[in-house]
């Protein structure tokens, strides 16, 4: 089985290959905002808009709509702020933003890299998850 | 995972389009050419969001076509080995099940489904625990981990697992997780 972009790739250790190392990651909620806006603009331009969208676009839009944890653009911004404050890598920010782990154990299982090299202790992780839960509650 | 990245592409344009709408034509050609495509290196190009820069055109010898280097921002979906994401089950059979996460298809073999879940044939084939408390069928929402990827000319295909902590069913068919 050929691996994409070299043998080293492993998201759990943040090895994403050079093309994506510095790329900006997007949470599902952010992608939903971008795609919906594009969808609306194109629909206004022409009546026969549905035929203009590729299957990839439609599938992605459906997917991000279904799995967006935050609907409100303000909330999405706040989530990013909370996560960025904790010096997480872009990729980690987005995995947590997408999956919304509820416990420290879960967060460490989903994003093993946050617990490595003493980057964050359990208390810090717990505080971060609590902050996220608050945003979701008052969205 | 979705990414916002900058890519570059050379576009060839016929001289009949040279005029006041040259830029518009280039942008629409770009969108038409790249949206929906897939490469092993950058993944699926979902949407072009902005055109950063259009370079100087170069006339091709013999044909009259002009090549423009175009730099653009786009949203791409690129799955990574080791990534954990949510997906929707599309098909279940005795070999395992197929799920979709956006444009990408993921296969979870029955070896990578927890041992306490067994395949049940019938009208709605599913994987179920013996006490019936967990049931994975078409349209279920499943959280899985990608363990391998395979690249085709026009598609990326993934192998996933749900045999690990905090993986597996997150939502029932139709219901919001």
Are residue B64 and residue B111 in the same domain, yes or no?
Answer: no
Chain B neighbors of A59, CB-CB under 8 A:
100, 102-103
Q: What local confidence, expressed as pLDDT, does residue A28 receive? A: 95
* pLDDT > 90 in chain A, percent: 51
Residue A111 has pLDDT above 50, yes or no: yes
Are residue B133 and residue B149 in the same domain, yes or no?
Answer: yes
Structure confidence by residue, pLDDT tens digits, B25-73: 999 999 999 999 999 889 999 999 999 999 999 999 999 999 999 999 9
Identify the CATH number of the domain in which residue B46 sits: 3.30.1490.120
- Domain boundary at B23, B53, B77, which? B77
Q: Is residue B54 part of a domain?
A: yes
Q: Is residue B177 part of a domain?
A: no
> Using 50, 70 and 90 to split pLDDT, how confident is the model at A19?
confident
Contact present, B87 and B141 (Cβ < 8 Å): yes
> Using 50, 70 and 90 to split pLDDT, how confident is the model at A117?
low
Give A126: exposed, middle or buried? Use CB within 10 Å, 0-12, 13-18, 19+: middle
Quote ipTM for the complex.
0.89
Are residue B41 and residue B56 in the same domain, yes or no?
Answer: yes
- Domain boundary at B77, B96, B128, which? B77
> Using 50, 70 and 90 to split pLDDT, how confident is the model at B104?
very high
Residue A8 has pLDDT above 80, yes or no: no
Q: What local confidence, expressed as pLDDT, does residue A1 receive? A: 47
Are residue B90 and residue B164 in the same domain, yes or no?
Answer: yes
Long-range contacts of A101-109 (CB under 8 A, 24+ apart): A101/A129, A101/B166, A102/A129, A102/A133, A103/A129, A104/A129, A105/B165, A105/B166, A106/B165, A106/B166, A109/B164, A109/B165, A109/B166
Identify the CATH number of the domain in which residue B159 sits: 2.40.50.140
SS3 B121: coil
Please indicate if any CB of chain B lies within 8 Å of the CB of A11.
yes
Sorted by sequence, the CB contacts under 8 Å of residue A132 that are 6+ apart come out as: A79, A82, A83, A96, A100
Please indicate if any CB of chain A lies within 8 Å of the CB of B162.
no
- Can you say whether the dihedral through the CA atoms of B124, B125, B127, B132 is positive or negative? positive
Are residue B110 and residue B73 in the same domain, yes or no?
Answer: no
Query: In the predicted model, what is the mean pLDDT of residues B87-112?
Result: 96
Domain ranges of chain A: 28-67, 73-137
Q: Is residue B176 part of a domain?
A: no
> Using 50, 70 and 90 to split pLDDT, how confident is the model at B155?
confident
Q: What local confidence, expressed as pLDDT, does residue B177 receive? A: 39
State the smallest CA–CA distance between residue A52 and chain B in angstroms: 9
Please indicate if any CB of chain B lies within 8 Å of the CB of A121.
no
Are residue B101 and residue B167 in the same domain, yes or no?
Answer: yes
- Domain boundary at B19, B45, B77, which? B77
Closest CB to B84: pick one of A63, A99, A105.
Answer: A99
Tally of domains within chain B: 2
Q: Say if the Cβ atoms of B46 and A98 lie within 8 Å.
A: no
What's the CATH superfamily of A73-137? RNA Polymerase II, Rpb4 subunit (1.20.1250.40)
Mutual angle of helices A90-99 and A28-45, in 10-degree steps: 80
> Using 50, 70 and 90 to split pLDDT, how confident is the model at A7?
low
> Using 50, 70 and 90 to split pLDDT, how confident is the model at A59?
very high
Contact present, A10 and B155 (Cβ < 8 Å): no
Please indicate if any CB of chain A lies within 8 Å of the CB of B94.
no
Closest CB to A23: pick one of B5, B100, B150.
Answer: B5
Sorted by sequence, the CB contacts under 8 Å of residue B61 that are 6+ apart come out as: none
Segments forming the whole domain that contains residue B135: 84-171
């Amino acid at each position: 089985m050929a691996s994409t972009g070299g043998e080293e790739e492993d998201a759990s250790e943040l090895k994403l290959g050079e093309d994506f190392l510095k790329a900006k990651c997007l949470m599902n909620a952010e992608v939903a905002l971008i795609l919906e806006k594009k969808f609306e603009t194109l629909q206004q331009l022409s009546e026969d808009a549905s035929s203009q969208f590729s299957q990839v676009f439609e599938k992605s839009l459906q997917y991000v709509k279904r799995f967006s944890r935050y609907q409100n653009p303000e909330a999405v911004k706040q989530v990013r702020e909370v996560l960025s404050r904790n010096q997480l890598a872009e990729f980690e920010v987005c995995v947590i933003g997408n999956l919304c782990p509820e416990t420290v154990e879960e967060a460490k299982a989903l994003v093993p890299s946050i617990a490595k090299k003493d980057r964050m202790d359990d208390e810090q992780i717990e505080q971060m998850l609590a902050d996220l839960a608050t945003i979701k509650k008052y969205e | 995972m979705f990414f916002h990245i900058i890519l570059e592409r050379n576009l060839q344009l016929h001289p009949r389009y040279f005029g006041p709408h040259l830029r518009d034509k280039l942008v629409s050609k770009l969108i038409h050419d790249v949206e929906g495509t897939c490469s092993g290196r950058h993944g699926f190009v979902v949407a072009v969001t902005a055109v950063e820069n259009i370079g100087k055109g170069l006339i091709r010898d013999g044909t009259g076509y002009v090549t423009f280097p175009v730099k653009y921002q786009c949203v791409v979906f690129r799955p990574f080995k080791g990534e954990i994401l949510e997906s929707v089950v599309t098909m279940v059979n005795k070999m395992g099940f197929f799920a979709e996460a956006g444009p990408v298809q993921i296969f979870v073999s029955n070896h990578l489904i927890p041992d306490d879940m067994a395949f049940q044939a019938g009208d709605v084939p599913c994987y179920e625990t013996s006490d019936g408390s967990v049931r994975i069928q078409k349209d279920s929402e499943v959280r899985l981990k990608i363990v391998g990827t395979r690249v085709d000319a026009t598609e990326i295909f993934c192998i996933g697992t749900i045999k690990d902590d905090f993986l597996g069913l997150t939502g029932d068919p139709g219901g919001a997780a």
